[in-house]
Structure 1
Amino acid sequence: LVIVLTVLPWIALTPEPILAAIVMHALGRGLSLQPLGRYFIWRRDRVLVLCAVAAVLVLGILDGLLVSVAISVLLMLKQMSAADIQVLGRIDGGHDFVDLQRHPTAMVEPGVLILRPSEALFFANVERILGAALHLIRHSDAPLHTVIISLEESPDLDGTSIEAMQEFFLRVHQEGKRLILARLKHEALAALEALPEVTANGVILSGLSVDGAVQQALKLNTGPL
Structure 2
Amino acid sequence: MLGYRRSDFSHDLIAGLSVAAVALPVGVAYAQLAGFSPIFGLYSTILPMIVYALFGTSRQLIVGPDAATCALIATAVTPLAAGDPKLYISLSIAIATLAGIFCIGASFLRLGALADFLSKPILVGFLNGVSLHILVGQLGKLLGFPIEANGIVPNLVEMVLKIQQTHLPTLAVGLATFAVLLVSPRVFPRLPAALVALAAAGLIVAGFGLDKLGVTVLGVVPAGLPDLRLPCLHMDLLDDVAAAAAGLALVSFSSMMLTARSFAAKNRYHIDADREFAALGAANIASALSQGFAISGADSRTAMADASGGRTQMTGLVAAATVAIVLLFLTKPLQYVPIAALGAVLAMASISLLDLHTLGRLYRLRKSEFALSLLATFGVIWVGAIHAIGVAVILAVLRFVSISAKPRVEILGQITGISGFHATSRHPEAQTYPGLLLFRFNGPLIFFNAPYFKQQTLASIDAAGSGLRWFVLDAMPITQLDVTGYFELEDLVHTLHERGVELVVAGRKMQIINWHKRQGLSDKYFADRHYPTLRETVRVYKELFMTKEELSLQQERRK
Q: What interval of TM-score do these two structures reach, taking the shorter chain for normalisation?
A: 0.7 to 0.9
| Per-residue deviation, 1:112 | 1.6
Report the equivalent of 1:198.
523
Report the equivalent of 2:384.
60
Report the equivalent of 1:102.
426
CA 1:94–1:69 in structure 2 vs 1: closer, same or farther (change >3 Å)? same
Q: Which structure would you say has the larger Rg?
A: 2
Provide the rounded CA distance (Å) in 2 between the counterparts of 1:119 and 1:180: 18
Report the equivalent of 2:549.
none
Give CA deviations for 1:101-123 in whole Å, capped at 9, x if unaligned. 22121111233211112444333
Report the equivalent of 1:40.
363
CA 1:72–1:188 in structure 2 vs 1: closer, same or farther (change >3 Å)? farther
Provide the rounded CA distance (Å) in 2 between the counterparts of 1:11 and 1:195: 72
Report the equivalent of 1:154.
478
| Per-residue deviation, 1:64 | 1.6
Give CA deviations for 1:9-51 in whole Å, capped at 9, x if unaligned. 5469453624433333333222354432322222241231121
**TM-score, structure 1 normalization:** 0.77
Aligned pairs, number: 221
| Per-residue deviation, 1:172 | 2.1
Give CA deviations for 1:49-70 in whole Å, capped at 9, x if unaligned. 1210011223333432332132
Give CA deviations for 1:71-100 in whole Å, capped at 9, x if unaligned. 122133124434453211111165411111
2:469·2:501 contact (CA, 8 Å) conserved in 1?
yes
- SS of 1:28's partner is helix
Q: Which moved more, 1:97-106 or 1:32-41?
A: 32-41
1:52·1:67 contact (CA, 8 Å) conserved in 2?
yes
Aligned letter for 2:458?
L
Report the equivalent of 2:326.
7
CA 1:161–1:203 in structure 2 vs 1: closer, same or farther (change >3 Å)? farther
2:493·2:525 contact (CA, 8 Å) conserved in 1?
no
Report the equivalent of 1:167.
491
Unaligned 5+ segments in structure 1 are none
Provide the rounded CA distance (Å) in 2 between the counterparts of 1:66 and 1:188: 39
Report the equivalent of 2:354.
31
RCO greater where, 1 or 2, for CA within 8 Å and sep 6 or more?
2
| Per-residue deviation, 1:167 | 1.6
Provide the rounded CA distance (Å) in 1 between the counterparts of 2:391 and 2:445: 26
1:42-191 pair list within 5 angstroms: 42=365, 43-83=367-407, 85-92=409-416, 94-141=418-465, 143-184=467-508, 190-191=514-515
| Per-residue deviation, 1:168 | 1.4
Structure ranking higher in strand proportion = 1
2:470·2:503 contact (CA, 8 Å) conserved in 1?
yes
CA 1:32–1:135 in structure 2 vs 1: closer, same or farther (change >3 Å)? closer
Aligned letter for 2:322?
I
Provide the rounded CA distance (Å) in 1 between the counterparts of 2:434 and 2:520: 30
1:178·1:203 contact (CA, 8 Å) conserved in 2?
no
**TM-score, structure 2 normalization:** 0.35
CA 1:72–1:147 in structure 2 vs 1: closer, same or farther (change >3 Å)? same
